[in-house]
Every structure is written in structure tokens, then in C-alpha cells.
Amino acid sequence: MKELNPAERRALRARAHHLHPVIMIGEAGLTPAVLNEIENALKGRELIKIRVLGTDRAAREALIGSICAALAASPVQHIGKVLVVFRPRPVSAEPKPAPRRGGKPRYRPKRQFQN
């Protein structure tokens, strides 16, 4: 689990502001199935929001600590019943193909058709 400095945390909070929670943790708590879903969400998004339906604040703080320890993620924010977790994507070994240049345009403005 990497500790984030205040500038990184502020930038991540700004990015997470418009996100919706993708995981909800209910009465059963943090099960292996929930951890697997959080792992899959972090692989695809790297910054996620988690909603916890419990009412105990101390339990939610312990929950974000156990999530981050189990998945090597960093806690960004804990406001009310919403937790924000960050884990950077691993750098892929194979480069992505370069976008095609030239070729057919995506659209034509209306004026090209008039004459």
C-alpha cells in the first residue's frame, strides 16, 4: 500500500468527485466475492468509489484499511458511507498500436456537399 502525498490525494479526490459507487458492501461485510469484485473494478478503472451500508464509522475505517491492505491499494477519501480507493494500473509490456492517419474522414461538414 503506497502512501499518497497531499497533492496526489487532492488530485484523486477531484477525479473521483464525478464517479458513482461501483461496489456496495452490505450486511455480510467484506467477503472474498466482494474483494474479487473490487479487484476487477480496480483493474479496469484504477480509481473507484465503494458504498458501505453499515452505520458504524469505526467499522468503515477498518474496512477501508483491510481493503487497501488486501489489494495493495491506497485510500484516498472516506466521507460518510462512501470510500474512495486508488491503485495505479500496471504498465503493460506490449505497446498499443498507433492510430491510423489519413484515410477516410470521420465526418464531412455540410458545406462540402453544397455547390
Q: Would you kindly state where each structural domain of the chain is located, as residue ranges?
A: 6-86
- Segment 41-64, tens digit of pLDDT: 999 899 999 999 988 899 999 999
Rounded mean pLDDT, 25-38: 93
State pTM to two decimals: 0.76
Residue 6 has pLDDT above 60, yes or no: yes
Distance CA 56, CA 35 (A): 20
pLDDT recorded at residue 75: 95
Give the contacts of 49 (CB within 8 A, at least 6 positions apart).
16, 19, 20, 21, 22, 23, 82, 83, 84
CATH class entry, domain 6-86: alpha beta
